[in-house]
Amino acid sequence: MSSNWIKSAVFYEIYPNSFMDSNGDGYGDFKGITAKLDYIKSLGCNAIWLNPHYDSPFMDGGYDVRDYFKVSDRFGTEEDFDEMLATAHAKGIKIILDLVPGHTSEQNADFLKSAEPVKNEMYDRFIWTDGIWRNYDGVNGLGGRHDRDGKYIINYFATQPALNYGYNRIDYPEWQMPYTSEAAKATREWLKSVMRFWLDRGADGFRVDMADSLVKNDGERNEKPATTELWRDIRAMLDKEYPDCVLVSEWSDPQAARAGFHVDFMLEFASNPYNLLVRGDKERKRRAYFDPAGGDAKAFADGFIDWYKQVNEAGGNIGLITCNHDTPRLAPVYDNEQLKLIYATVFTLPGVPFIYYGDEIGMKYIPDIPSVECGFSRTGSRTPMQWSMEKNAGFSSAEHTFLPTFADKQTNVASQQKDKRSLLNFMKEFLAFRRSRKEFISDDFEILYANGSEPLVYKRGGLVVAVNPLKTKQNAPVALPPKVKALFSVGKDAKAQKTCIAVPPLSFTVFGEK
Ligand code: ISL
């Protein structure tokens, strides 16, 4: 075994609060996940990314860890967690956990120790300024809640104090420590101990939260030399001690691959190629290629190829997502027929697929529901899984669920299982096809045609994919070898003609020789 399993992995992301409640308390739990592993497997997924499962006061959906060595009792017992892991493994499903290395909860014991007024062993584990009355430009520090004479730097929300991995550029030597300092190294060793703890317990790897945020004043996203050095050191430890373990980063830049991550998500930031394909960039007034009003395939293709080449050269992979717990779901902006096109396109690009729970049935982003546990606008993507038309969409038997449930007749697992043409059944068929063709996990990738909102055509090994996001029929000036035929399609099959491919409205076709 080795971390090579990542090449053929297809992930299902589970936000544990929202997936399946086994004990009727209104929150999802480990036993609920265990009960649904067959469902996940039947979809064609062989791996799970589990959002934070740790003991937490949930002031940021669990990304505020109180105890790194304990599961949240909201999700069940330690035994329930182990049972979930063992059952998944027995079914051939890997589980990667969310690792939150940049910050803890303000209730974390090490942080509270560091907040004491007298020096102690945790004094330098977090970043504190050198006096409560002093202010520093550009420093995000909070003070007056603890007796330590200083302000603590936060990494995200006010409840999330930054762990001290040191600084690269030092502006205030009075309290900023070099990333090479003993204190910074001790934090890194602590992080390794957290990783070893969960890997020894059977976890298959980690999705690393805000992976590029560790060393401060470390340059832009595409630089971060000291943070890169830190992760390379961690990767070296893993390769030696846990060679099967994979690291997936929330960094969203090819630099992550150079830092040693097996996978890095291409997220919905600004004009990332993923945005130019699926989501658009409102700020810069750029429409997505899948926008029915017409987007720019060339802008996507140029950006994607450049990104892909860099990642591939560094031995990494791109994480391709339908959505995640921070991002608005694609429905209802797109209907289920458009979603079929989008999923098929995104997941036939070179990379590792991640399906956010519920996207396989077209669960909708719910705008304007009140924020819970600091989800804010993200809350609308975190509503409970819609299993059926039963009480609470089959998610829970509780009177009150932690977020409201939204079942409609079409958007639930039970009804889509019965409908041959449903998004759910499409996803299964598509993933089975994808699995059957090793071309999709090869690094043989070339864009053959990309121009405005005309059909996008690309090659994976001996296969050629042609997609048309518009409601009108379009030709792509690409000549295919005479022997090829349509092997898989969404909508009507595209037709290979002498000098072009005729691509029907709203269609996706994979051509090959057999
Ligand atoms: O959610 C976002 C904007 O809506 C992103 O910018 C997000 O804040 C960023 O990607 C960091 O996210 C990660 O760390 C946060 C946590 O709240 C997110 O859920 C997590 O994915 C702090 O731990």
For 91-148, the pLDDT digits (tens) are: 999 999 999 999 999 999 999 999 999 999 999 999 999 999 999 999 989 999 999 9
Beta strands across the sheet bearing 495-496: 474-476, 501-503, 495-496
Residue 483 sits in the same domain as residue 419: no
Residues 278-329: tens digit of each pLDDT: 999 888 889 999 999 999 999 999 999 999 999 999 999 999 999 999 999 9
Ligand 1 binding pocket includes 80 (Cβ within 6 Å): no
- Residue 64 Cβ inside 6 Å of ligand 1? The answer reads no
Residues 228 and 368 in one domain: yes
Name, in order, each residue with C-beta under 8 angstroms of 511's C-beta and a sequence gap of 6 or more. 463, 464, 465, 466, 480, 484, 485, 486, 487, 494, 496
Total structural domains in the chain?
3
Q: Is the CB of 210 under 6 A from ligand 1?
A: yes
Ligand 1 atom 5, closest CA: 326
Q: Check if 373 has its Cβ closer than 6 Å to any atom of ligand 1.
A: no
CATH number at residue 130: 3.90.400
Tell me the three state secondary structure of residue 309: helix
User: Would you say residue 167 lies in a domain?
Assistant: no
Q: Which of 248, 252, 326, 329 to mutate to test the pocket of ligand 1 (most atoms within 8 A of CB)?
A: 326
What CA–CA distance (Å, rounded) separates 488 from 433? 8
If you take atom 6 of ligand 1, which residue's CA is the nearest one? 326
Direct distance between the N- and C-terminal alpha carbons of the chain, in angstroms, rounded to an integer? 31
Return the best residue to mutate from 53, 209, 365, 379 for the ligand 1 pocket (most ligand atoms within 8 A of CB).
209
In a domain, 170, yes or no: no
Q: List, for residues 470-482, the tens digit of each pLDDT value.
A: 999 999 999 999 9
Which atom of ligand 1 has the smallest separation from the CA of 100? 23
Atom from ligand 1 closest to the CA of residue 252:
10
Q: Please tell me the predicted confidence (pLDDT) of residue 430.
A: 98
Q: Which pLDDT belongs to residue 269? A: 86
pLDDT, one tens digit per residue, over 404-450 is: 999 889 999 999 999 999 999 999 999 999 999 999 999 999 999 99
| Residue 150 burial (CB count, 10 A) | 21
- 371 and 228 housed in the same domain: yes
Indicate if ligand 1 lies below 6 Å from the C-beta of 326: yes
The secondary structure of 61-88 as a DSSP string is TT-S-SEEEEE-GGG--HHHHHHHHHHH
CA of 360 to the centre of ligand 1 (A): 23
Tell the residue number behind the tokens 């990642």, with chain if given.
Answer: 311
Rounded Cα–Cα distance for residues 406 and 276 (Å): 30
The neighbour count for residue 400, using CB atoms within 10 Å, is 10
Residue ending a domain, choose from 376, 404, 438: 438
The reply to whether 411 and 457 lie within a common domain is: no
**pLDDT confidence tier of residue 271, bands split at 50, 70 and 90:** confident
In a domain, 406, yes or no: yes
Spacing, Cα 283 to ligand 1 middle (Å): 19
**Ligand 1 closest atom vs CA 376:** 4
**Long-range CB pairs of 35-38, under 8 A, 24+ apart, other chains included:** 37/84, 37/87, 37/88, 37/91, 37/93, 38/91
Question: Final residue of a domain: which of 414, 438, 462?
Answer: 438
300 CA to centre of ligand 1 in angstroms: 24
pLDDT in tens, 7-51: 999 999 999 999 999 999 999 999 999 999 999 999 999 999 999
Per-residue confidence at 270, pLDDT binned at 50, 70, 90?
A: confident
Residue 514 has pLDDT above 80, yes or no: no
CATH code (residue 498): 2.60.40.1180
326 CA distance to ligand 1 middle (Å): 6
Are 459 and 448 in contact by the 8 Å Cβ rule? The answer is yes
pLDDT in tens, 219-252: 999 999 999 999 999 999 999 999 999 999 999 9
Same domain for 158 and 218 = no
On whether both 429 and 346 belong to a single domain, the answer is yes
Find the 325 Cα to ligand 1 centroid distance in Å. Answer: 9
| Per-residue pLDDT tens over the stretch 251-263 | 999 999 999 999 9
Q: Which domain holds residue 491?
A: 444-512
DSSP bridge pairs for 369: none
Q: How far apart are CA 230 and CA 180, in angstroms?
A: 10
Within a domain: 171: no
Q: What are phi and psi of 425, to 5 degrees?
A: -70, -30
Position 229 in a domain: yes
Distance 261 CA to ligand 1 centre (A): 19
Residue 1: pLDDT over 80: no
Q: Is residue 209 lining ligand 1, measured as CB closer than 6 Å? A: yes
Tell whether the torsion through CA atoms of 207, 210, 216 and 219 is positive or negative. positive
Which residue has the least CA distance to atom 23 on ligand 1?
A: 63
Question: Does 212 sit in the ligand 1 pocket, CB within 6 Å?
Answer: no
Q: Judge if 94 and 107 occupy the same domain.
A: no
Residues 152 and 295 in one domain: no
Q: Does 308 share its domain with 424?
A: yes
Instruction: Output the domain CATH number for residue 46.
Output: 3.20.20.80
The answer to whether residue 177 is domain-embedded is: no
- Alpha-carbon distances, residue 65 vs 13, 56, 59, 166, 351 (angstroms): 19, 5, 9, 20, 30
Closest ligand 1 atom, residue 378 Cα: 4
Q: Are 96 and 206 in contact (CB under 8 A)?
A: yes
Where does a domain end: 438, 457, 490? 438
- What's the 322 CA to ligand 1 centre distance in angstroms? 16
139 in the same domain as 125: yes
Q: Are residues 273 and 348 in the same domain?
A: yes
Encode pLDDT of 277-288 as tens digits. 999 988 888 999
| Residue 485 is assigned to a structural domain of this protein | yes
Contact 54 CB / ligand 1 (< 6 Å): no
Evaluate whether residue 176 is within a structural domain: no
The model's pTM is: 0.98
If asked whether residues 11 and 81 sit together in one domain, one would say yes
Q: Whose CA is nearest to atom 7 of ligand 1?
A: 326
Cis-peptide, bond into residue 332, ω within 30° of zero: yes
